[in-house]
Structures are given as C-alpha cells and as structure tokens.
Homo-oligomer: A and B are copies of this chain.
Amino acid sequence: MSRVAKPTDRRSASAMRDIIGRGPSLADTLALRLKEEIVSGHLLPGEKLATEQQISETYGVSRPTVREAIGRLKHDGLVVTRQGAGAFVADPGAVSVFRLDVADFSNKEEIRNIVELLMAVEATATEHAATRRSNKDLKKIQAHLNAMQAAVDRGEPGVEEDLAFHRAIVEAMGNPFFRDLSDFLDRRVRNFIRAARANTARMGGMTHSVQAEHQAIFDAIVRKDAAAARAAAETHLRNAAARLALYLER
C-alpha cells in the first residue's frame, strides 16, 4: 500500500537521473536502488516486487531498463522471477551466489580487511598443499621458485613470478574455491600496491628476504610438513603485510 506507484508522467527521460543521481547507467543505478530495498529489509523474503510496469513508472524509466536492473538482481540470486507471476525476493538461505565487491581502492581500512582475508586463505591453502601435493605439483612449484630466483638475480622485482609461485601452491591444494578467491585477492592487493607505489619512492632491496621466505615454504612442502608450511606461509604473509603497511601509513 505504501509504495504504490504513483503514475509519474513520462515526459522527461531525465526524471530518473534526478531521482537517482548520475551513475554508470540507468540500469546499474536502478539495480542498486532495488538492491537497497531488499538488503535493508524493506522487502522481505518471498515478498513480491512491484511489477516491471510499476517500477518503470515510479522511477521514470522504460521497461527494458527495469528488466536489465532486475536481471542483475536475478543474476546475483537476490530475486527469482516466475513468468506470469512476478518477481520475488529470494530466500536468503537459498542464495547460491556470493559477491565480493572491492571497489573502493582509496579506503585503507578495506585494503587491510582484504589482506587479512588473503592471509587466512593462503595460509590454509599452503598448509593443505603440503600434504596433498603430488610430485607433479611439487615440480611446478619448484619451477616457479626457480623462475623467481632468476628474476631476483637479474635484479627484477619479479612480481609475476611471485604470483605464479603462490598460485602453484594454492593449485596443489586442489580446492578451486581457494584458488579463485586467493587469485582474486592477490591481484587486488598487488594492484593496490602498484597504484600506491606510483606516488612513493621504490623501496626495493626486500626481494632477497622474500625469496628466503619462499624457500622456507617450499622446503616444508617438500617434507609434507603441514604445520611448518602454515607457519612459513604465515611468516611470509605477515612480513608482506608489514611491507604493505608502510604504504598505508601516509
């Protein structure tokens, strides 16, 4: 009853722009709006959304645009639609999609939280990789370790080789969720570092200690010593986080 669509006249295509503000696109922004309504608890699970027609009218956008917006929510598992019936807020327990949005790069708190998650994921992955790795896995890991060493010897930072080394380890764990999540977080953090490094002096000279830490991780994996592997990974990640903290504190 409360949010019944009042028939906004259609004359201005920019009505939405006024209501909703400037954004990436009408559909995107509308999707955000509707998502708000749901996560804020304004719309309860199972409840029926307004019809596309009504939404179209209340926000002053066309139905295709509304469809695009609802399509996003459907894609994220927040709503389910039934042809002929309508669109309904999905049961939170049945949502099968998790979305991690790491948009705000300038937010240092967010970076810290991301790093924390990365540490947890990679430390555990390394721990399990130690006992599960096949000989083939081990060879791959070693190859990347050597490549990293070669890069260090050439005086290069070897960020790509570094990433590949860690990825090979996580891969050896055999859990795709860990692999994908770790990959994403890793890229994200490195991207931040690269951006931050642009306006600060290079710090360099750390690569040798980094490589020593890598060696310690590798040795533990060779021995299939899970506890040692975890410990070595934690040390490595803690040091990496400390290096990163230097960027954060300015």
Given A75-B28, A117-B181: A100 and B98 within 8 A (CB)? Answer: yes
A166-182 contacts to B (CB < 8 Å): 175-178, 180-181
Interface residues on chain A, size class:
35 or more
Give min CB distance, A238 to chain B, whole Å: 13
Give min CB distance, A105 to chain B, whole Å: 8
> Once bound together, how far apart are the Cα atoms of A180 and B102, in whole Å?
13
Closest partner residue, chain B, to A68 (CB atom):
B71
> Once bound together, how far apart are the Cα atoms of A116 and B181, in whole Å?
13
- Residues on A lying within 8 angstroms of B by beta carbon are 27-28, 31, 64, 67-68, 71-72, 74-76, 92-103, 113-114, 116-117, 119-121, 124, 128, 175-178, 180-181, 184-185, 187-188, 190-191
| A to B CB contacts below 8 Å, 26 in the list | A27-B71, A64-B64, A67-B68, A68-B68, A68-B71, A71-B71, A71-B72, A75-B75, A92-B187, A93-B187, A93-B191, A97-B99, A97-B102, A98-B99, A98-B102, A98-B181, A99-B99, A100-B177, A100-B181, A113-B178, A114-B177, A116-B128, A117-B121, A117-B181, A120-B121, A120-B124
